[in-house]
Structure 1
């Protein structure tokens, strides 16, 4: 029976990889409705007397297998430079903290190459959100809200990452540096947030995953080592994307 459970667990791992699979494989996964939590759910019933302990052990083992599988996928030549994600149905089976930490581990390096900083927010020792901050110096020109060149590449890469982790919700906040009237800065920051939202959706992220879209003007300058930088600095022309588990 243990061998059967092990087989189910291994099979369920197929849904954790959203990149590098053929269309036929993806269709097979969908048609058989195998989710990340299936192996855990079935594994818990094989020995009721040790159910709680067994489930915990299997979950830990399952998480380890997910990490190993993702690492192997990222090493494949066809996946070099790609964001390798988790399929639908994984959040419940893996747990919120593990899901977001896995997302961070697989996104941070590629995001950094694009000038995007990814940071974690924790509560009670568990990761509850991620924030992607685009380098304002390359994201938006002074007084403008349109994305061009490197700024557009940033959004495209971020959207690819978001698409690879479908069980997340996205909150977008725009910012401006402190030049000119604040009412204009407020409008500009809001326009930048809307521009980012539209670009993310155009790149294949479902609109229903977008939560709040707002601008904060120049009221929230970037922080470096815990200290606010000069509000007039151009790097404050930015958009921040908060990534939280889908409710």
Structure 2
């Protein structure tokens, strides 16, 4: 009982980390925002569940993730983006944000040798770091997309891009990301981000992208707070 009480206190404390204040435009007084209140409620409840299943660390992580959902879809994705940027710094993996979607761009120089679908050591290191955050924020789907340049034929490039996407997804699954959240696609050379006329452009086109989007659970949770 004492342990449960301690973990509950930790969950509540973690939830308080999500609190925010706004200034009343009429009175000038500080007050807790409605978003923060919703975030705190969701954070405390989920933190207790996390405490029961994973102890103190589970309380903290569950509180932060669930509280972010309570703060709205944008808030949920904001927290993930921040953690991903921190964990993937100095890995050469780019973190991009487009609306409520987060995109991780992994260049071939980080992920695979030429014409190979076997993950490099650097790729595994980066995916280990990404997975730590992705596991903490389960209410998202991940589409792993493989891309190549125009060197070689479509008969070679499309299967290669698909195998590379599958290799990344399989590794994330091994690191704890649920298979139900993962899907893969290989685009071959059909979606370039730079000109294939020069080596620099071709290098940019050879990449794997991980598209992270809020799932229906996150959408429903946000709607319930409105």
Tell me the TM-score normalized by structure 1: 0.62
What SS does the corresponding residue of 2:89 show, helix, strand or coil?
Answer: helix
Residue by residue over 1:117-163, the C-alpha shift from the partner in whole angstroms, topping out at 9 and shown as x without a partner, is 111112xxxxx110011122221111111102212212222212211
Which segments of 5 or more consecutive residues in structure 2 lack a partner in the other structure? 1-7, 20-30, 44-56, 217-226
Count the aligned residue pairs: 177
Q: Is the 8 A contact 2:39 2:66 kept in 1?
A: no
Q: 2:36 aligned with 1:14, yes or no? A: no
Q: Which residue of 2 aligns with 1:121?
A: 98
**2:123 counterpart (151, 159, 165):** 151
Structure 1 stretches lacking a partner, 5+ long: 1-7, 18-35, 40-54, 67-78, 123-127, 223-227
1:219 match: 190
DSSP 3-state at the match of 1:241: strand
Contact 2:68 2:79 in 1 (8 A): no
Q: Does structure 1 residue 246 correspond to structure 2 residue 206?
A: no
Question: 1:59 matched to which residue of 2?
Answer: 35
What's the counterpart of residue 230 of structure 1?
196
Q: Using a 3 Å threshold, how does the CA distance of structure 1 residues 92 and 13 change in structure 2: closer, same or farther?
A: farther
Q: Deviation per CA, 1:176-218, whole angstroms, max 9, x where unpaired?
A: 12211112100000000000110000001111111x3100001
Does the aligned pair in 2 maintain the 1:193–1:213 contact within 8 Å?
yes
Picking from 191, 206, 210, the partner of 2:163 is 191
Identify if the C-alpha distance between structure 1 residues 244 and 56 changes in structure 2 by more than 3 Å, giving closer, same or farther.
farther
- Answer whether contact 2:35 2:71 (CA < 8 A) is retained: yes
